[in-house]
A = this chain, B = another copy of it.
Amino acid sequence: MAKSRRITLIGAGNVGWHLARHLENAGHQLREIYSRNLKNARKLVNNLYDAYPTDSLDFSESDAQIFLLAVPDDAIPAIVNEIILPENAILAHTSGSKGLEVLSHLECSSGVFYPLQTFSKAKEVSFEDIPILVEGEDKATEKELIALAKSLSNEVQAVNSDQRRILHMAAVFACNFTNHLLSISKNILETEDLSFDLLKPLLLETIHKALELGPENAQTGPAARKDIATIKSHLSSLEESPELAQIYRLLTESIMERRII
């Protein structure tokens, strides 16, 4: 069992919601729960043992040791400007796309505590398998944050800000763009009154194969087999949707590693 820590959470959104409860389950003590909107902080506190809701960023009297900043990226600067921390505090943000430097002008030890998962309040997640990527401005801070992360997850890794930015970008390709391709696919099916559910078994098998064999060994389809006739037929079906045709052409060319037109 890891050492119990006193933790204050800044932000009562999706990430904060799951973090707070899993931290408590792991034996840590939640102190203040901050939200700009006190109502949100109260809602989360109601699910916790002994935390305290607040809409003030003056934590000078807090006895928390670690402050986790779980707010949207664009809310970080305003909070960092206003926050008052007790001495010897560690402040770590939970953002995949922000570097350590967004906290660097504060008089505290700064770090990053980034759980690589998408959260929604309504859906329980098992934290054990979620990679938590940690960075500290110095070895002591990093060690402290790694210990905290390991109390939640079996997949803890120290990564620097460059690596984390690359990881976040890779996640945009693998997840955000993938989801958008599914939207496009669903729209295409709807033009012929076909259900997106028809693709479900194929999609799940595609993902499982990619994870099992590596995506580079699992590529199939007209581009992979250089089936120009099918590619041309698809492009002609997309004639009235130049944007989709452009996406089709670009990804096809990228798979084939050459220009088709």
Contacts and interface: CB of A to CB of B under 8 A. Distances in A.
Given A166-B192, A227-B73, A179 B251 contact: no
A138 to B, nearest CB: 22
A198 to B, nearest CB: 5
Contacts of A163: 192-194
Contacts of A243: 254
Contacts of A230: 73, 97, 168
B173 A184 contact: yes
Contacts of A206: 118, 174-175, 178-179
A254 B200 CA distance: 23
Interface size class of chain A, counting residues whose CB lies under 8 Å from the partner chain: 35 or more
Interface of A: 72-74, 97, 116-118, 120, 125, 129-131, 133, 155, 157, 159, 162-163, 165-186, 188-189, 191-194, 196, 198-207, 209-211, 214-216, 218-225, 227, 229-230, 233-234, 237-238, 243, 246-248, 250-251, 254-255
A186 B180 CA distance: 18
A210 B233 contact: no
A170 to B, nearest CB: 4
A133 B198 CA distance: 10
Given A118-B206, A172-B221, A175-B220, 10 more contacts: A130-B201, A166-B194, A169-B188, A171-B199, A173-B184, A173-B188, A173-B247, A176-B222, A178-B178, A247-B251
A22 to B, nearest CB: 14
5 contacts: A133-B198, A163-B192, A172-B222, A184-B254, A250-B250
B174 A215 contact: no
Nearest to A238: B169
B178 A203 contact: yes
Contacts of A120: 209
Of A116, A170, A196, A209, most buried by chain B (CB within 10 Å of CB) is: A170
A216 to B, nearest CB: 5
Contacts of A179: 206, 209-210, 215, 218-220
Contacts of A238: 169
A237 B157 contact: no
Given A201-B131, A248-B173, A255 B180 contact: yes
Contacts of A184: 173, 254
